């Protein structure tokens, strides 16, 4: 079932868990307060296809076009977004479902106290790794 959730949150500077009721296939986070040189302003994460702590980061450049970082960078390890899946059933009275599905965002390095974060989380109808085109030809079924 396809779902899209759009949200805004004011950061406390601490790690943040967002429970969507699903693990997003795509998540985009925009820190509108971090729009100055060297800051990570946008994170993009492709859920299970990328895995935890791996994402695409958009970094702000100085007006003169220089910083020590790339403006768009793929982070293969040490990223900020990870799957959150702690659904459980409390069997004592009252019996109920606890926890949830979503993502955890490591704030340190991405969001500080009072930063405004906007986001979109999408659960697609399908998320599939198509493998290596060289092994499968020029036409791939999705």
Q: What is the pLDDT of residues 1-48, one digit of tens each?
A: 799 999 999 999 999 999 999 999 999 999 999 878 788 899 999 998
Residues 121, 4 contacting (CB under 8 angstroms): yes
Cα 99 to Cα 82: distance, rounded to the nearest angstrom:
15
Residue boundaries of the structural domains of the chain:
3-126
Per-residue model confidence as pLDDT tens digits over 46-56: 998 999 999 99
pLDDT at 48: 87
Sheet holding 101-105, edge to edge: 16-19, 101-105, 81-85
**Mean pLDDT (the chain, rounded):** 88
Phi (first) and psi of residue 128, to 5 degrees: -135, 135
What is the per-residue pLDDT across 71-118, written as a single tens digit (0 to 9) for each? Answer: 888 899 999 999 999 878 888 888 887 778 999 999 888 999 999 999
Read off the pTM: 0.83
pLDDT at 70 over 90: no
Query: Whole-angstrom Cα distance, residue 131 to residue 58?
Result: 26
Which residue would you say has higher pLDDT here, 94 or 67? 94
Structure tokens at 5: 């959730």
Tokens representing 30? 């925009």
């Amino acid at each position: 079932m396809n779902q899209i959730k759009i949200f805004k949150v004011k950061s406390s500077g601490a790690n943040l868990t967002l429970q969507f009721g699903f693990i997003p296939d795509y998540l985009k986070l925009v820190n509108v307060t971090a729009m100055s040189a060297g800051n990570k302003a946008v994170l993009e994460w492709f859920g299970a296809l990328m895995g935890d702590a791996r994402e695409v980061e958009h970094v702000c450049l100085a007006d003169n076009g220089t910083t020590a970082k790339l403006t768009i960078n793929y982070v293969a390890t040490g990223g900020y977004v990870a799957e959150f899946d702690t659904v459980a059933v409390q069997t004592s009275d009252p019996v109920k479902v606890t926890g949830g599905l979503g993502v955890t965002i490591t704030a340190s390095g991405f969001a500080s106290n009072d930063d405004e974060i906007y986001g979109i989380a999408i659960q697609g109808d399908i998320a599939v790794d198509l493998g290596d085109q060289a092994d499968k030809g020029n036409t791939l079924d999705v």
